[in-house]
Amino acid sequence: MAQLWGGRFTKETDQLVYNFNASITFDRKFYRQDIEGSIAHVKMLGKQGILTGQETEDIIRTLKQIREDVESGKLEITSEYEDIHSFVEANLIERLGDTGKKLHTGRSRNDQVALDMRLYTREELLATDTLLKELLTTILNLMEAHTETIMPGFTHLQKAQPITLAHHLGAYFEMFKRDRLRLHDIYERMNYCPLGSGALAGTTYPLDREYTAELLGFYGPTLNSMDGVSDRDYLLEFLSACATIMMHLSRFSEEIIIWNSNEYQFVEIDDAYSTGSSIMPQKKNPDIAELVRGKTGRVYGALMSLLTTMKGLPLAYNKDMQEDKELSFDAMDTVKGCIALFNGMLATMRFQTENMRRSASRGFTNATDAADYLVNHGVPFRDAHGIVGRIVLYCLEKNIAIEDMSLAELQAISPVFEEDIYDAISMETCVNKRLTVGAPGKAAMEQVISLEKKYLETDWH
Ligand code: ARG
């Protein structure tokens, strides 16, 4: 047991208590951020004359060595230490003696862990954003290639109106774009430095909090030390953004699973992203999409768990907050992994465009346009709706599409129909006449694609 306290205690900590309390098995994940924060802290202590120039230099050099030794595997982070903060400090003291004992001047583990977690989350947020951008690039490339690929659009999972694959994919583009905007918003709110908050009430040392904040790339210091050590809003916001990203990935996965099914055959997932069955030789399963859909639950779980942990906590730090880590780390890794795999699956998927087109023309997706044709020839919409309803019934009985009916058959139901009806209800016409902003018509789609291209050219980090 290696712990940073003990002066006040007369008995050894019970081993089970020690294990229950320790966090090294998971907070070792942010050893880099812990060392980075300590280096900034020591630089500031040196600048303020709280440590001498020599002490400052020695501590920084040794902290960097510790970081290198951990990275090279020379120094192992073992569970003999209570947490990552104890590990770093104990190793520093072992290497530097009394000078090492000065590292923690004007600092508490409460503001230290608040800083480490914020630094870690900030990096994860940026990495997630980069992955989302890659996914958006894949989607936009597919959109450009498929502005003329006709497929049925659905409501209630029933064929509704024809759209294009570009249009369908464009819906997901908007979702993941919003996810990125959300991450940016969160970044703007979270990028303030809690270091210097002390245990809860600041410190009596003349710390320069602006300086440490600047060294660590923050906009400035947090403005209340009690809030500084006990705020986990930024993490909740990030987990909430992660949950939303997963919800989007899960919806997309669900569609791919449906599209990949034997009945639809709209897509074929690449062999590299499918798996077989141990018993059924014919099987090629969409496991990646299913796993992404499935893992959405655990990310939601992390969000719920932290919200619940935080709900009754009085100010300021409470040990409950140590529970902010394990599930959050898991959620962050899960989201990054899912975006990356999903992107690979999407980029290598084959779209069976013939099947999509056939499916669109087989589902009366042009019924609305047939009614619109009648309206354009003076029939009131409600009557037109009724006429086309009778046409659909007729087609269902004969197992044909509207465009398979002869003009005589159509005219028998309504004399308004002329030869130009066939052009008016062709899949191409149905799609390309829809030209309002955001609609699937090719010209409208191309406008959106060029806007989104510009959007992807700019970056915020
Ligand atoms: N392992 C602790 C955590 O993750 C570090 C902070 C400890 N502070 C304390 N007062 N015990 O929250």
DSSP assignment of 67-113, as one string? HHHHHHTSS---TTBSSHHHHHHHHHHHHHGGGGGGTTTT--HHHHH
Catalytic option among 184, 261, 277, 450: 277
Of the candidates 23, 136, 133, 140, which has an alpha carbon nearest to the alpha carbon of residue 85? Answer: 23
CATH number, position 23: 1.10.275.10
**Rounded to the nearest whole angstrom, what is the distance from the C-alpha of residue 133 to the centroid of ligand 1?**
35
pLDDT at residue 8 in the model: 80
Give the mutation target among 21, 23, 195, 310 for probing the ligand 1 site: most ligand atoms within 8 A of CB. 23
Is 240 part of the annotated catalytic residue set? Answer: no
Of the candidates 332, 445, 344, 293, which has an alpha carbon nearest to the alpha carbon of residue 135? Answer: 344
Residue 4 banded pLDDT, cuts 50, 70, 90: confident
Residue 82 lies in a domain: yes
Cα torsion 411, 414, 419, 423: sign: negative
Average pLDDT over residues 444-457: 98
pLDDT per residue as tens digits for the range 367-399: 999 999 999 999 999 999 999 999 999 999 999
Do 323 and 373 belong together in one domain?
A: no
Do 196 and 311 belong together in one domain?
A: yes
Task: Tell me the pTM.
Answer: 0.94
Q: Is the CB of 112 under 6 A from ligand 1?
A: no
Do 204 and 184 belong together in one domain?
A: yes
Residue 1 lies in a domain: no
Name residues whose C-beta falls within 8 Å of residue 241's C-beta, 6 or more positions apart in sequence. 179, 182, 183, 186
pLDDT at residue 144 in the model: 98
Residue 88 lies in a domain: yes
Which DSSP state fits 307? H
Residue 154 lies in a domain: no
CA–CA separation, 33 and 247 (whole Å):
30
Q: Is the CB of 113 under 6 A from ligand 1?
A: yes
CA–CA separation, 329 and 215 (whole Å):
25
Do 246 and 134 belong together in one domain?
A: yes
Do 301 and 282 belong together in one domain?
A: yes
CATH number, position 178: 1.20.200.10
Do 291 and 331 belong together in one domain?
A: yes
pLDDT at residue 281 in the model: 79
Do 194 and 50 belong together in one domain?
A: no
Which DSSP state fits 201? T
Domain boundary among 353, 374, 398: 353
Cβ proximity of 234 and 121 under 8 Å: yes
Catalytic option among 72, 156, 278, 406: 156
Residue 449 lies in a domain: yes
Average pLDDT over residues 298-316: 98
Do 437 and 320 belong together in one domain?
A: no
Residue 356 banded pLDDT, cuts 50, 70, 90: very high
Domain housing 437 = 359-457
Do 173 and 309 belong together in one domain?
A: yes
Do 217 and 326 belong together in one domain?
A: yes
CA–CA separation, 227 and 233 (whole Å):
10
pLDDT at residue 2 in the model: 65
pLDDT at residue 444 in the model: 98
Residue 19 has pLDDT above 70, yes or no: yes
Residue 441 lies in a domain: yes
Do 407 and 420 belong together in one domain?
A: yes
Q: Could you tell me what percent of the chain has a pLDDT over 70?
A: 100
Residue 1 has pLDDT above 70, yes or no: no
Is 156 part of the annotated catalytic residue set? Answer: yes
pLDDT per residue as tens digits for the range 246-304: 999 999 999 999 999 999 999 999 999 988 777 787 878 999 999 999 999 999 999 99
Number of domains in the chain: 3
CATH number, position 447: 1.10.40.30
> Which atom of ligand 1 has the smallest separation from the CA of 319?
12
Residue with tokens 């989302």: 132
Do 227 and 81 belong together in one domain?
A: no
- Write down the mean pLDDT value for the chain: 96
Domain boundary among 314, 338, 353: 353
For residue 121, what is the enclosing H or E element? helix 109-145
Q: Tell me the residue type at 17.
A: V
pLDDT at residue 406 in the model: 97
pLDDT per residue as tens digits for the range 129-167: 999 999 999 999 999 999 999 999 999 999 999 999 999
Residue 255 lies in a domain: yes
Residue 280 lies in a domain: yes
CA–CA separation, 328 and 30 (whole Å):
13
